[in-house]
Structure 1
Amino acid sequence: MSTPNFAEAIVLRRAQLTPHMVRLTFQSEFATDFSPGAPGGYLKILAPAPGEVGPPPLDLQTAKRAMRTYTLRHVRPAENEFDVDFVVHGDEGIAGPWARLAKSGDRILVSRPGALKFSTEGANWHLFVADLSSIPAAAVELEALPSDAIGDAFFEIPSDEDRQPIRTPTGIRMHWIIKADPHAPSDALIHAVQNTDWHSGEPSVFVAGEFALAGALRTYFRKQQPTRKDLTYISSYWKLGLIEPEHKAFKAQVA
C-alpha cells in the first residue's frame, strides 16, 4: 500500500542498542529516494495498534493521533534500507511498544522525510544537548562534524547502560547525565549545560528534548548566554503528560 506521501516499510533487522533503545532496519520503496543527506531528517511512522497485524489503514483523518515522528539514523539508498532508533519504556506510547516486539517481516507505514533545520556552518565550536528522545538526531549531527571539531555534548539517559557508541571527533567532550525517572524534570541536565566552560568564538547550539528542557535553555541562550540565531536549533520533541498531537497543539498555542 502506498500514496505519494506514505509507503509501507518492512522490518529487516532488529538490534537492542541499549536497555531503552531499539534500532530497526527497514526496507521501503521510499528509501531509493533518500539522499546521502537524509540522515538526521524526520519522518512520520504509523505503526499497528497492539494486537493488529500489518500496517494500519491509511486514513489520515483518524490516523493523526497515532502517527509519531522519528529521526532517520542511517540511510542506505542502494540497498533500499534505512535505520530508525526507537525509545522503549515498557508499554508507554504507540510506536515504542510496537518496536520493542517488532520482528523481521513486520510492516508499518512511513512518510517521506523532512529536513532538520540545523546548521553548523561558520561555527567555531559546537554544543549539543539531548534527552533520550533526541539522541538519534543529535548523534547524526555529531557524526557529520569535521574531524577537527571541538565542543561538548550533554546527553540525558536513564542509566549507565544506556550509553551508546557515537563516532564523534576527538575534540568533542561527551557528558552523560543520568536521570532514572523519565517523568522527573531535567534539572541536572540544564544545570550541567549552564555550568559548562564556554569556548571562544561562535558556537553552534543543538538542543532537543522535553518541552520544559527546551524552554529553559531557549531562555538561557537568549538572555544569559546569547547565541547566533542562524546557528541555534532548539526544539521540544515531547511534553510530559501529552501525546504527540497534543504536544504539537500546545506548542502552537504558546508560540
Structure 2
Amino acid sequence: MVRNTSITRNATRITLTGPRLADFVPGGPDQRVKLFVPREGRPASRITRDDLTWREAWTRIPEADRPYQRTYTVRAHRSNPVEIDIDFALHAPGGPACRWARSARTGDAIELLGPTAERNGGYSFEPPAGRRLLLAGDHAALPAIGSIVESLPRDARGHVFVEVGSAADRQHLAAPPGVRVDWVHRGDAPVAENRLLDAIRAAHLPVDHGYAWLAGEAGRVRALRRHLKDERGMDHRSIAFMGYWRVGHTEETAHTEPTGRVKSAQPMRLAR
C-alpha cells in the first residue's frame, strides 16, 4: 500500500503498488478485481503460487489465517508510476474489508487478483458508440460510476443517478458537459425503499437508442431493470446490470459477485 486518503467521512481511497502490478491490464472503466483481505491480527497470506491456482492456494490456507475474498472496482489505474486506486465505503461497524481499509497504513500488504488481458470478462460497461447513457447506482457503485464518467468522451450525452447517505457523501465527478449528475440522498429511508427507482421514475429520460448501466444492491437493481424494460420499453439488450451486494449478506453468502469471469488473471502481491 502506498497511501490511505480520505475522500469523504464515509469513504477512503487506498492506493496500491507492487512489482507485478505492471502486468495489470484493465478491460473497461468498471474493471473488477478481487482483494484478499487479511484477517485481523494475521499477516497477509500468500495466494500467489506457481504450482496452484489462486483458488487452490486460498483453500489450502488454514481457516484461521485464510483471507477474506472481496470484489472491488478499480477507481483509477496509472502506469507511471504503476498504481491502482480502490475506494472503500466505510460503514459502522463494517465488515473485514471496511475495517482493514480504515486502519491500513503505508507498508501494509494485501493481495489482488487482477486481469492481464483486455478481454477478461471482469467489466460490464460496453455501450455502442453514440448512445445516450443512463448510469444509476448506490454507494457501492460510486467508484465504478466515477471511473466510467471520467472515461467518457467530451461529446457524450446522458444522465447519472447516484444514491448516497447524505450531501456529505457526494464526490466530485468530472462529467462531460452533456452528462448530468443527480445525487439521491437516502437518509434514514427503510431498507425496502428504492429511492433510485423513485428518482428515475420521476425523470424525463429518452430511452430510444439508449444504453443503461445499473449497479448496487441486487434487489433494487433488478427493480430498476424491470422499470426500464417493462415500463419504459427499453431493449433489454441495452441494459447492463450488476448486483454488487445484497441486504443482510456478505460476499460469502450472497453470491453477488458479478457474473463476468476474470480470464487471464493472476494474483499480484502489493507491498510497500
The TM-score normalised by the length of structure 2 is 0.81
Moved more, 227-236 or 80-89: 227-236
Count of residue pairs the alignment pairs up: 241
- Secondary structure at the aligned position of 2:22 is classed as helix
Question: In the superposition, relative to structure 1, how do residues 175 and 64 fare at CA in structure 2: closer, same or farther (>3 Å)?
Answer: farther
**2:54 corresponds to which residue?**
none
- Secondary structure at the aligned position of 1:67 is classed as strand
- Counterpart selection for 1:44 from 29, 34, 41: 34
**1:24 corresponds to which residue?**
14
What is the distance in 1 between the residues matched to 2:7 and 2:256?
Answer: 32
Whether the 8 Å contact between 1:65 and 1:244 is mirrored in structure 2 is no
**1:137 corresponds to which residue?**
144
Q: What are the Cα deviations for residues 180-206 of structure 1, in whole angstroms up to 9, with x where unaligned? A: 348723422111012211236411101
Whether the 8 Å contact between 1:33 and 1:77 is mirrored in structure 2 is no
**2:82 corresponds to which residue?**
80
Question: In the superposition, relative to structure 1, how do residues 48 and 142 fare at CA in structure 2: closer, same or farther (>3 Å)?
Answer: same
1:246 aligns with 2:253: yes
In the TM superposition, residue 250 of structure 1 has moved relative to its aligned partner by 10
Question: In the superposition, relative to structure 1, how do residues 211 and 175 fare at CA in structure 2: closer, same or farther (>3 Å)?
Answer: same
In the TM superposition, residue 217 of structure 1 has moved relative to its aligned partner by 1.1
What is the distance in 2 between the residues matched to 1:239 and 1:182?
Answer: 17
What is the distance in 1 between the residues matched to 2:182 and 2:201?
Answer: 13
In the TM superposition, residue 179 of structure 1 has moved relative to its aligned partner by 1.2
**1:12 corresponds to which residue?**
2
2:233 aligned partner, one-letter code = P
In the TM superposition, residue 92 of structure 1 has moved relative to its aligned partner by 1.4
- Counterpart selection for 2:25 from 12, 31, 35: 35
- Counterpart selection for 1:199 from 191, 199, 206: 206
**1:179 corresponds to which residue?**
186
Higher relative contact order (CA 8 A, sep 6+): 2
In the TM superposition, residue 224 of structure 1 has moved relative to its aligned partner by 1.3
What is the distance in 2 between the residues matched to 1:123 and 1:230?
Answer: 16
What is the distance in 2 between the residues matched to 1:94 and 1:35?
Answer: 27
Report sequence identity in percent: 28
Structure 1 segments unaligned to the other structure (5+ residues): 1-10
- Secondary structure at the aligned position of 1:167 is classed as coil
In the TM superposition, residue 33 of structure 1 has moved relative to its aligned partner by 1.7
- Counterpart selection for 2:109 from 92, 107, 110: 107
- Secondary structure at the aligned position of 2:68 is classed as coil
**2:44 corresponds to which residue?**
55
**1:4 corresponds to which residue?**
none
What is the distance in 1 between the residues matched to 2:184 and 2:10?
Answer: 15
Moved more, 30-39 or 40-49: 30-39
